[in-house]
Amino acid sequence: MSARNTPALNDASKAIQWHNNKLRLLDQRLLPQQEVYLDYDDADLVATAIRNMVVRGAPAIGITAAYGVVLAAAARFKQSEENWRETIEQDMEVLAQSRPTAVNLFWALERMEKCIQALQAGDPIEALLAEAIAIHAEDIAANHTMGELGAALMEEQGIGVLTHCNAGALATGGYGTALGVIRSAHRLGKVAQVYADETRPWLQGARLTAWELLQDDIPVTLLADGAAAHLMKLDKVQWVVVGSDRIAANGDVANKIGTYSAAINARHHGVKFMVVAPTSTIDMSIASGEQIPIEQRPTEEVLCLNDQRVAAMGAEGWNPSFDVTPAALVDAIVTEKGVVLAPNREKMLALMEKS
């Protein structure tokens, strides 16, 4: 792994790159103060990068893991041309354990596994790399489609939109899910102002969403997570638009901690609530959000800031990374296959049966 500084980015879709037989990731922990790329040629280090938030966001995690499989195959094939299929399973498991909530991770690994099983004898790298690149490209295309579909739901011009966490180009292959809708709607004159929750404790809204929107000259105002209800009361927001890390078969949505609060506030104030995610985020194998595993991250993330203790000594921390918003609070789920209004199991099943 190596690091290098780069000039300022104008295109956040370059956050995940394949370059000179290595995976290159924009280190999102350092944004917006620094734009630093890290190069990876080892699958274990890719898993660590996912776990340590170098890259985050469900679609981006899946794409990164797919490239991680390519690196693993290259190393295992070099060790043994006969036994690489067996030994690569260790690397696949390490990648799978990197983040438990984002279902896109497992979807991408399963797709790479199918590619491995279909391979004939010989060097597997070309075929696996082509599959990883296809996963990446398909995600970008899906984001543009979702952007158009989500923007079409916004009937007014010049509205205010609230978003939580970062569901933009940095969290996907490019363009973004929630921010893809916001980008498309802003281009059409429908969104005049974006409000971004800071999104504690990692401050993805303050550091990443604000940075992305400013790259596109979209006006953005930051607010503390707890200020969102008051903002809605003042009629500044007509839509809340968020992404998702996993959607259950009944339409329950797991997303960054604080999304559930935003949905409750939105329903109370008559604000529409939109979830934007590719169908790879939908997990029809689980009946409801109660079955979605919620990642518990280190309590130091809550008790400390930049590795400096800010909480009173002796205080304990609780740090779930995600929460689940019931389908009853969701007005629309937007996917590349179409839009589900007032989601339930029957509607989600009909969506997933579309070709």
280 contacts: CB under 8 Å, gap ≥ 6: 59, 62, 103, 104, 107, 108
Nearest to 50 by CA among 20, 95, 8: 95
49 contacts: CB under 8 Å, gap ≥ 6: 25, 38, 40, 55, 64
Q: According to the model, what pLDDT value does residue 6 have?
A: 36
Q: According to the model, what pLDDT value does residue 102 have?
A: 78
Written as tens digits, the pLDDT of the chain (355 aa) is 544 333 333 355 589 999 999 999 999 999 999 999 999 999 999 999 999 999 999 899 999 999 999 999 999 999 898 889 999 999 999 999 999 887 899 999 999 999 999 998 889 999 999 999 999 999 999 999 999 999 999 999 999 999 999 999 999 999 999 999 999 999 999 999 999 999 999 999 999 999 999 999 999 999 999 999 999 999 999 999 999 999 999 999 999 999 999 999 999 999 999 999 999 999 999 999 999 999 999 999 999 988 899 999 999 999 999 999 999 999 999 999 999 999 999 999 999 998 6
pTM for this prediction: 0.91
Q: According to the model, what pLDDT value does residue 307 have?
A: 87
Q: According to the model, what pLDDT value does residue 11 have?
A: 52
Residues with a known catalytic role: 245
Mind listing the domains of the chain with CATH numbers?
A: 2-140 (1.20.120.420), 145-352 (3.40.50.10470)
